[in-house]
């Protein structure tokens, strides 16, 4: 049995992994898909959340497991993966970046987003009045995240997306070759992604090569649009 910890991306919650959780559990694995603080059903105020908040949350979950885990992250969840791997490399078997931000030391998500001008996310984001979070315009949700998903999946997502805390997105990653660099990493590319474009996914891997690469003909949300294929990739871990 393998223990998987699934880290969701911006605006989402653990709910987005529901098909992946079911498939992995059916194969007799243990799976955790928590809501990060301030997201999903968690009501922590966005202004109190930092990247370190999320890192500590996932690190504590991993520390409570008997054996090292496979740590999977989608989109912005890649920031959390890298920071957790730096903090506790001995507790992670493999890092799996699912069309996720794989950043070099000292870079922030804001830096990476600025280098991906074809992404649909910036034009779809609306800043909250308190400037502590942002949300995605409802009319842009499908095109940005769910271009290959069913109407039912899009309706579910629209009902569950919540504002994303902004502080973690501006925080530079802190990783080293000695710690983060010793954990094996895998990248799952999504060729039809309009949030993190395929070219951006490839550029990040050029800077930080991964042990393996899997390619899905998918939008930004393969946990919906290609759930069986994504599950099969994770089961190979």
Q: Give the residue numbers annotated as catalytic, written as ranges.
A: 75
3-state secondary structure 176-203: CCCCHHHCCEEEEEECCCCCCCHHHHHH
Report d(CA 180, CA 90) in Å as an integer: 10
What's the token pair of residue 39? 């997201």
DSSP string across the chain: --EEEEE--TT--GGGGHHHHHHHHHTT-EEE-PPPTTSTT----GGG--HHHHHHHHHHHHHTSSS-EEEEEETTHHHHHHHHHHH-GGGEEEEEEES-----TT--HHHHHHT-TT-SHHHHEEE-TTSSEEEE-GGGHHHHH-TTS-HHHHHHHHHH--PEESGGGGSPP---TTTGGGS-EEEEEETT-SSS-HHHHHHHHHHS--SEEEEE---S-HHHHTHHHHHHHHHT-
């Amino acid at each position: 049995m393998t223990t998987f910890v699934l880290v969701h991306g911006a605006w989402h919650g653990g709910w987005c992994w529901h098909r992946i959780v079911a498939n992995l559990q059916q194969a007799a694995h243990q799976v955790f898909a928590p809501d990060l603080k301030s997201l999903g059903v968690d009501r922590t105020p966005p202004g109190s959340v930092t990247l370190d908040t999320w890192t500590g949350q996932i690190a504590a979950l991993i520390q409570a497991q008997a054996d090292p885990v496979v740590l999977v992250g989608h989109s912005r969840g890649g920031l959390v993966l890298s920071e957790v791997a730096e903090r506790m490399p001995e507790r992670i078997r493999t890092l799996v970046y699912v069309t996720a931000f794989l950043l070099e030391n000292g870079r922030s998500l804001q830096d990476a987003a600025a280098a991906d001008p074809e992404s649909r996310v910036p034009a779809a984001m609306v800043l909250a009045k308190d400037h502590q979070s942002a949300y995605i315009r409802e009319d842009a949700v499908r095109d940005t995240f769910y271009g290959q998903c069913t109407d039912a999946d899009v309706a579910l997502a629209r009902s569950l997306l919540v504002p994303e805390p902004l502080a973690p997105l501006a925080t530079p990653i802190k990783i080293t070759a000695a710690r983060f660099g010793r954990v094996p990493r895998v990248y799952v590319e999504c060729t039809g992604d309009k949030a993190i474009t395929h070219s951006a996914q490839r550029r990040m891997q050029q800077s930080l090569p991964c042990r393996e690469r899997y390619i899905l003909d998918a939008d930004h949300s393969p946990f919906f649009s290609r759930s069986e294929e994504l599950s099969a990739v994770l089961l190979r871990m």
